[in-house]
A and B are shown apart, each in its own frame.
Chain A
Amino acid sequence: MDRKNQSPQGQTAKVVVEFLEVAINCIVFLKGFYPSRAFERRRYMNVVVNKARHPQLANYIHSSIFALLPYIQKGLVKRVVVIFYGQDQVPLEKFVFKLTIGQSYQSSVSEAELEFALRAFLVKLNVSETIAKPLPSGANWEITANFRELPSQENEGEEAKLWVPTDTKQWMQPSEITPIKSMDSNPLKLQLYMEHPSVTEQKV
């Protein structure tokens, strides 16, 4: 009942958010950021994935992604980025989920097909270890989201209006992009790619 009453966007957004949570779990595992025993093997969409076992870690990923749900639903979120930093707060590697949820279009894709496509992401992600660069010690990571525009002010609290400075430094040079997987459908367009600092950047 619940599902039926939803708009296709809402439905898709839910799937996407769920997917993002899993994918980010996978990325963190993939990077070997935590010891592998901090993860447990699970099955999602029939793919073996690794899920963080530590409640705090799992909760961080879960809560930060689910906090995005309303914005993703409205199509405000442009990118969800998992950034890995070195000690100096300079990003070393980014996993970028670029997503577009069409607002006007009625869904043409069944949930099953969507899942099938998203599964390809997970499969590909699981074998993308070689593209990723090893992290130095003292590295850190975070999840960020880039918005297309500011969320409308009327129904958000004071929090939304606040500007908080971030420690994150930007790359000076255009990054190097390695696509991992893309899908193009209605209403969801999703691309996953990695960004690394360009060679010149690293020298600087």
Chain B
Amino acid sequence: MVEYNHPEDTLPECQSLFQWLCFETVRTAVAADSLLKVSIFRRRNPQIQKRSLALSLRCSPMSRSSGSSSRKRGRPSSKSGATNPLKPPFFKSSPFSDFGSYMTEKNRKLRDQFETDASSSSHGANLAIADGGVSGVDSQGIFKGVAIFVDGFTVPPSQELKIYMLKHGGKFVNYFSRHTVTHIICSNLPDSKRKNLRAFSHGLPVVKPDWIADSIAANTLLSWVPYQLVEHAVTETSKQLKLSAFFSEKGISRSHHQGILIQNETSLSDKCKGESTELTLSGTDNFSQENSQESKHIDTNDELKDVKSESEEDCSTSYVAGKSSDHLNRPHSTLTDPNFVENYFKYSRLHFIGTWRNRYRKRFFNFLSGTGSKNNNPNNDTENLRRIVIHIDMDCFFVSVVIRNFPDLLDKPVAVCHSNNPKGTAEISSANYPARSYGIKAGMFVRDAKARCPHLTIFPYDFSAYEEVADQFYSILHKHCKKVQAVSCDEAFLAVSLSLNDNPENIAEIIRKEIFETTRCTASAGIGENMLLARLATKSAKPNGQCFIPLDKVNEYLDKLPISALPGVGYNVEEKLRMKEVETCGQLRTISKDVLQKDLGSKMGDMLWNYCRGIDHSAVEAVQETKSIGAEVNWGVRFKDSKDSENFLMNLCKEVSLRLHGCGVQGRTITLKVKVRKKGAGEPVKYMGCGDCETISRSLTVPGAINDVGSLHRIAKQTFASFHLDVKEVRGVGLKLSRLELANPSRKGIEESRLELLFSSATRKGKQPVEQSCSTNHSREDAPSGARPSSSSAVSQGSNISELPPLSHIDLDVVRNLPPEIFLEMNGLYKGELRKILESQQQEKEYNSESVERKDCRQQDQEISTRMQRELEPSEASCSKSNYCKSDLMPGSLSQVDFSILENLPDEVRTDILKQLPPHRVENQFPESSKSNLSLGSHSKWFEMLRVQNCLLSEFLLSNATFLTPNISPSSEEWDAIVVNSCEFMKEYIRQKIESDIEELYNCFRLLKRLSSKSSLLLEFYDRTLPLLQASIGEHYGGKLHL
């Protein structure tokens, strides 16, 4: 590459220079057999106001020999020109015989120019660029003997450095020469030069420009050693710009840079002290973002000027290294700031607004709860009072809070923005009224805003001040009014009851005055009959005014109001209505409600119809329910690999979980939202912003509300994986929980402390055997996922898979057949209890199998019931009333998912399942007891059992299928009793279920039918009850069950 930076005052020479350039490059290109690209561009240096022309010719691949590179640099080399055999003919027309003579001539001329400038500047006369007080008399000549060559982009720019040199006795060399230059000044070096520093510098010191600035400031020539550019680059490992660097506002950005770039630097500001400095951008992104980073870095460099020398060095060395390719390809993940999410929200204004409500609630809890009871009374009993809604809104809250301490800025344009770097890609979040008059709006880039209003002052956020003012604001509101609906930190509705002759404007006046006196910020108030009117009135009241829309003026006011002013009317609706040539509320009123509802949906139509008539039924409510809780990050999100994204998700889940805990709620629907870079979208204009994105979101509803990190993370991870995204393209992630429920400790107790209950209740005695037996039956349904092969479908709906089931819920048969290592693990979980139980079970089984033949029914019964008592009591705790009412709705178990589905399964799966089913049931802990219950228990007992247990008969049948085949001889007395009892029960059961749940009856009879092939008792039972069933079905549904 051949490149020239040419001051424009030597323009006449340009032509010949260009000729030479072309020639030189073509020669190189021909030699290297490569492509050629020519570019000519003009540079404008804002400080100097002097244009320079730069010519560059680029050929690739670059020749790497140092000889040619130095020639290409433009070093006057008599040799290269003289020995050139391909001297082009056009060169003869130029006044120089060859390039060497041209360069000597040029250097001479430049030197002359420099010297005349220097002599004139020594009189301190005409140089426009004054650098403050440093141009003292003594400063003359601190750089004596120093000749600098500036390489590449520097801060301050090379022309400025040249002026410094002029003023302080140094020399500025335009073209590098080993013989004339003493110091090379540059801010950064490309990787190749850094690696091969000696070839580049020829042993000359390569120094950062700050050396010059600091020397001038110190008014003496400082040692350049601490300002060396490259020294530390080798040892520094983390060169990349840290993400957390950008969380802070301009005000602390300097210390931030130190904090990030120099680990363990003591001068860390408080804000970044806690932050880890680990977080860097991912390598690949750096690659694409290198430019933006670079400029960002440079932007902040001027702030760095006066930072301690040490830090500067580190700063720019890391900067240099940041460009190095080997760091770009670093394999390990980079988004590792453990506090990323936390930091993100720490410095986010939106987050401040979003979470403000919680703080408000906590602080004003007394007011809120105190008014709760009082609220209802005045609403009803006040005939002679009229209710007025006042809407109070602080005027450009975010700005006015910040500038309340700067009264001179009051009527100057001011905006608040998280950063004020000269690049101007930060977005303005709030602007005051003088600024708005320039057309500056929130969301505008600082750059654009400055273009409209160059003297715009920009302030960073001051969250503590916002909090303080918001608190003061609400204290005042609560003082004047019982019923305050907080809309946001600077906006609220008040419901005021006034007697008829009171002027509502007075109270608003008082409140506004007090707000101003306390907070030194102005507020505007809108007063109306309802919330809508109050809100609309505020709009016309602003800034710092108030507006009252009395009832008789409503129509007049609304007539001219554009529909877009109505809350809830967005772009779409406005567009739709514009098609109908409706632009004001007056015109909107001419449209009938039906038409509106048809066009815009019933809710929206209804709402608009009301709104354009000034009707708003919503009441001022002190406490509004939180609908969803979540967190979303869409700034600074760059992942390198899935590990990054997982870490990030984990942090996000933690944040959300914290928030959920903070509000004391749990959520059932988890929504994961991911912003993905749109295909073809470039890097966003806003630094590290999300740019043009597609948003994908997916939500999952779990049956049990959750708020713990573990489950959140599990679900979030799962959902995230289901998107099948390239994580590098992800630009934002949000996690939200909705369908919130109060995290009720009692409810939790049931879920979480079953195990505790198991152990604690094991000491309780004297429960009724029937209940116990049922509870066990029921609880077997909740066997852990591993316990039954067929339960996978049930498990997929269950939220509580992860919790440890009580011992009694465990199908011991399964446990017995588990692989030893899994058994050991389970045993460990149950603290060894499992093995004990299993052993005792084993003994009893052996004992039973011997004795069962000899015992008569009654004895057996007794024995079993005692055993049950021992074994099943614990599980009784789990059968609580709380889930009673739900079980009709929730298919709590597999059995309710039932056989018709089973039948639809593929054959092999079904046979597998069916094959697996019976053995599990054989080893029930109380087989005979249920049989005897079925046979001997009266039907009322059965009902009690079903009711207490709240299980369905079909479930019971399913789980006890094999025990319902007793070995009682047919036609015996006992047999008859059983059948009669059972039929009695079934009759009752049919009667109960016929209206509401034929599905259950259908399931029961399908099961019975299936089982009856094995048992004559059941067959008889089935035959006797079926006609009754069909008759009832016929009576209620006009048909027969198709069994």
Pick the contact of A116 from B606, B885, B890, B1040 — CB < 8 Å? B890
Pick the contact of B1034 from A113, A117, A174 — CB < 8 Å? A174
In Å, the complex CA distance between A190 and B849 comes to 48
Determine whether the beta carbon of B668 is less than 8 Å from that of A112. yes
Pick the contact of B889 from A5, A98, A117, A178 — CB < 8 Å? A117
In Å, the complex CA distance between A198 and B1041 comes to 10
B interface, over-half SS:
mixed
B703 adjacent to chain A (CB < 8 Å): yes
Determine whether the beta carbon of A175 is less than 8 Å from that of B998. no
Determine whether the beta carbon of B904 is less than 8 Å from that of A189. no
Binary interface profile of B, 356-369, with partner A (CB < 8 Å = 1, else 0)? 00000000000000
User: How many residues of chain B get a CB closer than 8 Å to chain A's CBs?
Assistant: 36
B722 adjacent to chain A (CB < 8 Å): no
Interface positions, chain A 144-179, Cβ under 8 Å from B, are: 174-179
Interface positions, chain A 36-87, Cβ under 8 Å from B, are: 45-46
User: Quick one: given A127-B901, A182-B1000, are A174 and B891 in contact (CB under 8 Å)?
Assistant: no
Binary interface profile of B, 1002-1043, with partner A (CB < 8 Å = 1, else 0)? 100000000000000000000000000000011001111110
Pick the contact of A46 from B701, B999, B1041 — CB < 8 Å? B701
A114 partner residues in chain B, CB cutoff 8 A:
889
User: Quick one: given A127-B904, A182-B999, are A177 and B1037 in contact (CB under 8 Å)?
Assistant: yes
B803 adjacent to chain A (CB < 8 Å): no
A195 partner residues in chain B, CB cutoff 8 A:
1039
B618 adjacent to chain A (CB < 8 Å): yes
B888 adjacent to chain A (CB < 8 Å): yes
A184 adjacent to chain B (CB < 8 Å): yes
Q: Which B residue's beta carbon lies closest to that of A175?
A: B1039
Q: Which B residue's beta carbon lies closest to that of A117?
A: B889
B1041 partner residues in chain A, CB cutoff 8 A:
176-179
Interface positions, chain B 984-1008, Cβ under 8 Å from A, are: 995-1002
B412 adjacent to chain A (CB < 8 Å): no
Determine whether the beta carbon of B1040 is less than 8 Å from that of A185. no
In Å, the complex CA distance between A191 and B1041 comes to 14
Interface positions, chain A 182-204, Cβ under 8 Å from B, are: 182-185, 189, 191, 193, 195-196, 198
B308 adjacent to chain A (CB < 8 Å): no
Determine whether the beta carbon of B617 is less than 8 Å from that of A1. yes
B501 partner residues in chain A, CB cutoff 8 A:
none
Interface positions, chain A 86-117, Cβ under 8 Å from B, are: 98, 108-109, 112-117
Determine whether the beta carbon of A185 is less than 8 Å from that of B904. no
A183 partner residues in chain B, CB cutoff 8 A:
888-889, 997
B618 partner residues in chain A, CB cutoff 8 A:
1
Determine whether the beta carbon of A176 is less than 8 Å from that of B996. no
Determine whether the beta carbon of B703 is less than 8 Å from that of A191. no
Q: Which B residue's beta carbon lies closest to that of A174?
A: B1039
Most chain B CB neighbours (cut-off 10 Å) among A129, A178, A179, A183? A179
In Å, the complex CA distance between A189 and B1000 comes to 14
Pick the contact of A175 from B885, B904, B1002, B1040 — CB < 8 Å? B1040
Determine whether the beta carbon of B617 is less than 8 Å from that of A5. yes
Determine whether the beta carbon of B1038 is less than 8 Å from that of A174. yes
B944 partner residues in chain A, CB cutoff 8 A:
none
Pick the contact of B1038 from A116, A175, A178 — CB < 8 Å? A175
Determine whether the beta carbon of B1040 is less than 8 Å from that of A198. yes
B1042 partner residues in chain A, CB cutoff 8 A:
176-178, 196
In Å, the complex CA distance between A195 and B1000 comes to 17
B904 partner residues in chain A, CB cutoff 8 A:
127, 129-130
B886 adjacent to chain A (CB < 8 Å): yes
In Å, the complex CA distance between A117 and B700 comes to 16
In Å, the complex CA distance between A179 and B1000 comes to 9
Pick the contact of A130 from B903, B995, B1002, B1033 — CB < 8 Å? B903
A-B contact pairs, 12 of them (CB 8 A): A112-B701, A113-B886, A116-B701, A124-B901, A174-B1039, A175-B1038, A176-B1042, A177-B1033, A179-B1002, A181-B999, A183-B997, A195-B1039
| A residues lining the B interface (CB < 8 Å) | 1-2, 5, 45-46, 98, 108-109, 112-117, 120, 124, 127-131, 174-185, 189, 191, 193, 195-196, 198
Counting from the closest, the 7 A-B pairs by CB-CB distance are A175-B1039, A182-B999, A184-B996, A176-B1042, A117-B889, A179-B999, A182-B997
